[in-house]
Structures are given as structure tokens and as C-alpha cells.
Amino acid sequence: MKILVIEDEPEMKELIRKFLQDEGYIVEEAGTFSSGLDKIVSYDYDCILLDIMLPDGNGLALLQKLKSIEKADSVIIISAKDSLDDKIKGLDLGADDYLTKPFHLAELNARIKSVIRRRRADNHQMLELENVKINIEERLALVNDGPVNLNRKEFDILVFLMMNKNRVTSKSAIAENIWGDYIDQANDFDFIYSQIKNLRKKLRNSDAMIDIDVVYGMGYKLIVK
């Protein structure tokens, strides 16, 4: 799976590259508008991460170009600008998602996975790990092909953690993903714990081969038993 990162900030680019490579993607990079354009025109990517503030041009123009040559690459805009206008413009131009800096890598990971999954129009594709299968569209969680009854929050947490399996996922990343941005001011995210606790219990009771580890002071980690 090939991903193009168009980002002018070298450290940010490097960081995303490293993270995505760890996730098993093939990553290519571009630091400017022109080099980004070259790559977009010459190759196909499963997903393009596009910073809209580039030193030699606006990323939105790049997006326009991409659509005008009728490429079907998925695009996630990453921007330091939390601007509604840009967001609407970007999505109107055909971007698949819009992520505002700073973001959690876990969140980026989840968004990339969703975008790629959607792009394949393969709605029945399951998110699978060991004996656990998840159908996101139908909101179904199966262990050993038998349904597990999860509430909405538990299901969302499971999906998010499965997308970020074997990684420490911070409580705030989970909170933001499931509850939305506004929860970020909460003094502690311990309220997540009650949901996680129930989720773990349900996974254990259904003999799932996965478990959620508590990483004290950081967050949670979904592991294979």
C-alpha cells in the first residue's frame, strides 16, 4: 500500500514517514508543491497526505490538479490551520478527510485506514485480528464468528484500538476520536476507563484472542494474546 506525504516541515514529514513505515506502508515524500505535483502526476497512490500550506504553493491547488487529471487517489488534508473555510473547500475539491495539526498519530492511522477502506468500496471487508472480526459499516463485532454485544462507545474504541494494534494509544487520542474534540479539556480521561473495562470483560468472556493492556500514565494498547 503506497502513501505519499506532501509536507514541507522536514521533521513532521520524517515522523509521519517513520510511523507509516512501521505500519507497513510504502511511503514516498515530497517537500514542495512542485515535487508533490511531479509525484502525483507520475504515480498512483492509495492515499496522499497533503499539507495545504506549502512554501511554493497552496496544497488546495495541488488537490484541484489531482482531480482535474482524474486520479482517484484518496487525499487527507493535514493543516495547521483550523479553518472551516479551508476544510469545506478541501472537502468540496474532493479531499476525503481533513486533519488539523496537532493530531495524534493514532488518529492519522485510523483516518488513513478508513479512507483506504472506503476507497476500495469494499464495505464488507472486515477488520480482522486473530479470531476477532469487525464489520465497521454494519457495526458488528464477531469473535469466532459469533457476535459480541458492544455498545456504541465500546465498539468505536475497539475499532480505534484495532486500527492501532500493538501501539500505545494515548487516552486523549481515544477520547478525541470517540467523544470529539471538546472533551480535550477534561482534567483526566479516566472516564474512558469504565468503557475500556467493560470492553475487556466482553472480549474475555467471548474468548477473544486479543486483549487491551493498560499502559499506566499513557493510555491503552491492544495486543494479541
| Span interacting with another protein, options 62-70, 135-143, 183-191, 199-207, rule CB under 8 A | 183-191
Stretch in the footprint of another protein (CB under 8 A) among 63-71, 139-147, 154-162, 175-183: 175-183
Find the DSSP H helices in 51-142: 59-68, 84-92, 105-119
Residue 88 or 126 having the CB closest to another protein: 88
Q: Are 110 and 177 in contact (CB under 8 A)?
A: yes
Binding-site size, another protein (CB under 8 A): 42
61 to 80: interface string for another protein, x by CB under 8 A: -------------------x
Site residues for another protein, window 19-48 (CB under 8 A)?
Answer: 19, 22
Cell 470529539 maps to which residue? 180
Q: Binding residue for another protein (CB under 8 A) from 194, 204, 213, 224?
A: 194
> Could you tell me if 33 and 75 are in contact, meaning their C-beta atoms sit under 8 angstroms apart?
no
Letters for 130-169 (x = contact with another protein by CB under 8 A, - = none) are -----------------------x-------------xx-
d(CA 79, CA 125) in angstroms, rounded, equals 30
DSSP at 183: G
How are beta strands 26-30 and 2-6 bridged, if at all?
parallel
Are 29 and 54 contacting, i.e. CB atoms less than 8 angstroms apart?
Answer: no
Asked if residue 147 has a cis previous peptide bond (ω within 30° of 0), the answer is no
Residue numbers at the binding site for another protein (CB under 8 A): 9, 11-12, 15-16, 18-19, 22, 80-82, 84, 101-106, 153, 167-168, 170, 172-173, 179-180, 182-188, 190-191, 194-195, 215-219
